[in-house]
Structure 1
C-alpha cells in the first residue's frame, strides 16, 4: 500500500477508534515491558530514586525527557538539562526544555509529600544563565527532608494517571464551576492563566493553530526533528523508551497493527517527510475542530527561572485537569521562537491583547476524551550522572 493510503486510514479514525472493543484490545506491545507508569518498585529504599521514579512521568516537550540527575548525599540531588536532548529546530532557545525542568521539579515535590518528605528547591544554585543558551550548570538543587507530619499534596494520587491526550475531544466547554476551579489555581509570581471558550475566538484559534502546524512542517529540518522522536513500531518504543507513536494518539488494535506493520517506514519518511507533514496538518485541524475550550499561561518576562516556574504551574494544571476528569493537550507550535513562526505569533498576541513584553509559555486545549496509552519513560538509572 502507498503512504497516501496510510493517510486515509489514519484520517478515518485517528482520534476516536471506531473498532469494536475486542479489536481495540489487540496490541503488539509486550505487556511485560515496564514503561515506568507503576511508580517506584516496592524494593527501592533510596528516597531520591523513589521520587525520581515519579518525577520522570511529568509532561515534557516531545517526550525528550531532557534531564540529568547528580546524586549527592543521601537526601540531596541536582537537576541539570541533558544537552544531548534539546530541540534546536523547534525550540531554539530551549524555552520548552526549561518548562520541562519545572514539570519535573513539581512532580518530584508532589511525590515527595506522598512519601512523607518535604522537597526544598533552590533554583540555579550556581547562577542563572541567559535565556538564549543552556549552560552546564544545575537548574535546581533539591533537598529531601523526612517529616513526621506532612500534608500530602492531593495531586499525588494523579501522577500515575496524568497524560497529554492527543485524541479528538467531544467539543464540550468547561462548566462555570470547572472554570472557577482552574482560575483559582495558585500560580507563580508574574504568571497568569487565561481560559477561552467563546465561539468566535475558538474558531479563530482552530484556524490559527492549524496554520501554525502548516508553518512548522514547512521546513524539512523541523520535520525531521519531530520524526526523530516518532516511534514507528513497538520495537522502537522498547529500544528508546521516549518519544511518541500512533498508539499515543489513540490508534490501537488491528488498525495499529496494520499501520505499523505495513504502512509506516522510517527510512522512506525521513527521505521524504512531506506526507508526514500533511498528515500532521490534517490531524491538527481535526483535533482543534473537536475542541471548544483552550487555555494559556502567560508570564511578564521570559527568563530561565520564569520558564522553570511556569513548568511547575503547568504541571499542576495538568494534574488538576486530570483530577477533574478533563483531557488536556499542549498546542505549542504558535509559541515557537524560530523566525518563520514569529509573524503568526505576533498576530495571535495582538488578537488577544497580549502585551509586547509578555510571553505566552504554554497553550493547551481542554475537553473530554477517552484515555490513550501512556508515552514510555526511560529507566531512572539512565538519568544519573557522576
Structure 2
C-alpha cells in the first residue's frame, strides 16, 4: 500500500486555499445582501420616478396648480383624484376606484383627502398669480365632480403655507413628548379653522391615556377584522419595483423606522398580512401613542356631509402646513373613527362609537379626525406620488 506524504508546503497551500475559499463565500454572501439592498431601494430612499413631484416643479400654467394638489395629505396615500385642465379652469374629480372600501364606508376619509388637495390648489393659485373662484359639486347629481376652479390673473401672493407644501410629510416616528410646544403655535392652528369646523387639543395625562388606549383598542379590533386587514394591506408597497410602478400606498420608508429596521425590512422576504398587522399594532402602542405630546380632534356638526368633510380636509391641510413651518410633527390616527364608521355601516354594537363620543368636544359636534403631534425625533420621509400625466384627463 502506497502512502502519500504531505510536506509542509502542501499544508500551507491547502490552508491558504481554504482560507481564500471561505473569504470568497463571505464576500459572495455580503455581495448578495448588498445587491438585494440596492435592488430594494435601501440606498436611494425618496428617489426615483415615484418621488419626482416632491422636487422643484417643471410644470407650467394651471398644471403647476395640479402639481401642488397631488402633494396633499390623503388617506392611505391612495391619491383618490383626477383632474381636467383647460385654459382657465380646473375640474377636480373623486376617483372612486381608489376608495378604501370597508375602511371608509361613508367616504369620509376620501373627501377629507380631496379637501386637502383643494387647499393646496388655493394656496398655489395665488402663489402663481391667479385669483381662484371655487365651487363645490357643480353638478348636484354627480358626487364625483367635487370642485370647479375658475381663474383670472392677479399679482402673486406667496403664503408661508404654500412654501411648506413640499416640506410637509406625515411623521410616523417617535416624538419627544418632554419638549413643550409653545402656546402660540397651538393658537396659530386655531386661526386656520373655518365654520363649522372646530379643533380640540388634549395634552393632559388623563386625556391622553384615554385617547391612546382607545386608539390602540381600535387598532386591535381593526386587524382582527379580516375584511379591514385585507384592505389596508392591499395598499402596502413592500417591494421597490411595486413602489416605483404604482407610485402610491404605504411604504416602509414612511413608517418612521430607523435605518437598521428599514434595511432589514427591505432585504428580508415580504411580511405576510398577519405579521404586517402586528407590526402596525406594536408601532401604534409603543411609538405612536406613547410618544404623543398631544392629540388634536377636528369636529364637524353633522355625521356625513360631503362639503363639511372637504372643509375639514382643507383645515387639516392648513394646520399641518403650519406645523411644518413650526418644526412640529403631525400624524393622523383615525383607527377609532374607522371602527366607528364600520360599526355604523355594519349595524354592529357601537363600542368604538361610544368611545369616540366620550372625547370632550364642543356640544353638537361630531369628532371626525384625530391626529397626534409633537416634536419629532426622526425626519419624516416622503411618500410616493403618481405622475401628473396619469391623473389629468
TM-score w.r.t. the length of structure 1 is 0.84
Following superposition, the deviation at residue 256 of structure 1 comes to 2.1
Following superposition, the deviation at residue 221 of structure 1 comes to 1.3
Which residue is 1:378 aligned to? 386
Corresponding residue SS for 1:289: coil
Following superposition, the deviation at residue 186 of structure 1 comes to 3.3
Instruction: Determine the C-alpha separation between the residues in 2 that align with 1:30 and 1:200.
Output: 38
Instruction: Determine the C-alpha separation between the residues in 1 that align with 2:180 and 2:237.
Output: 32
For 1:1-386, what aligned pairs fall within 5 Å after superposition? 27-29=43-45, 31-33=47-49, 35=51, 36-41=53-58, 44-45=59-60, 47-71=61-85, 73-127=86-140, 135=142, 137-147=144-154, 149-171=155-177, 172-183=179-190, 185-251=191-257, 253-265=259-271, 269=272, 273-286=273-286, 287-301=288-302, 302-336=304-338, 337-339=341-343, 342-352=350-360, 355=363, 357-369=364-376, 370-385=378-393
Alignment gaps of 5+ in structure 2: 1-40
The structure richer in helix per residue is: 2
Following superposition, the deviation at residue 313 of structure 1 comes to 0.6
Which residue is 2:38 aligned to? none
How many equivalent pairs are there? 342
Q: Quick check: 1:216–1:341 contact (8 Å CA) kept in 2? A: no
Alpha carbons of structure 1 residues 136 and 347: separation in structure 2 relative to 1, 3 Å: closer
Alpha carbons of structure 1 residues 116 and 212: separation in structure 2 relative to 1, 3 Å: same
Following superposition, the deviation at residue 347 of structure 1 comes to 2.1
Q: Quick check: 1:196–1:295 contact (8 Å CA) kept in 2? A: yes
Runs of 4+ with deviation above 6 angstroms: none
Alpha carbons of structure 1 residues 137 and 34: separation in structure 2 relative to 1, 3 Å: closer
Alpha carbons of structure 1 residues 342 and 118: separation in structure 2 relative to 1, 3 Å: farther
Corresponding residue SS for 2:299: strand
Which residue is 1:13 aligned to? none
Corresponding residue SS for 1:338: helix
Instruction: Determine the C-alpha separation between the residues in 1 that align with 2:355 and 2:250.
Output: 30
Residues 145-174 of structure 1: CA deviation (Å, up to 9, x unaligned): 211x24322211100000111111111442
Alpha carbons of structure 1 residues 342 and 167: separation in structure 2 relative to 1, 3 Å: farther
Q: Quick check: 2:199–2:299 contact (8 Å CA) kept in 1? A: yes
Corresponding residue SS for 1:217: helix
Alpha carbons of structure 1 residues 88 and 53: separation in structure 2 relative to 1, 3 Å: same
Following superposition, the deviation at residue 176 of structure 1 comes to 2.0
Instruction: Determine the C-alpha separation between the residues in 2 that align with 1:306 and 1:353.
Output: 17
Following superposition, the deviation at residue 34 of structure 1 comes to 5.2
Alpha carbons of structure 1 residues 108 and 341: separation in structure 2 relative to 1, 3 Å: farther
Corresponding residue SS for 2:166: coil
Q: Quick check: 1:60–1:100 contact (8 Å CA) kept in 2? A: yes
Alpha carbons of structure 1 residues 341 and 115: separation in structure 2 relative to 1, 3 Å: farther
TM-score w.r.t. the length of structure 2 is 0.82
Corresponding residue SS for 1:208: helix
Residues 121-164 of structure 1: CA deviation (Å, up to 9, x unaligned): 1111111x6xxxxx4541100112211x2432221110000011
Instruction: Determine the C-alpha separation between the residues in 2 that align with 1:228 and 1:201.
Output: 33
Q: Which structure has the larger Rg?
A: 2
Alpha carbons of structure 1 residues 53 and 85: separation in structure 2 relative to 1, 3 Å: same
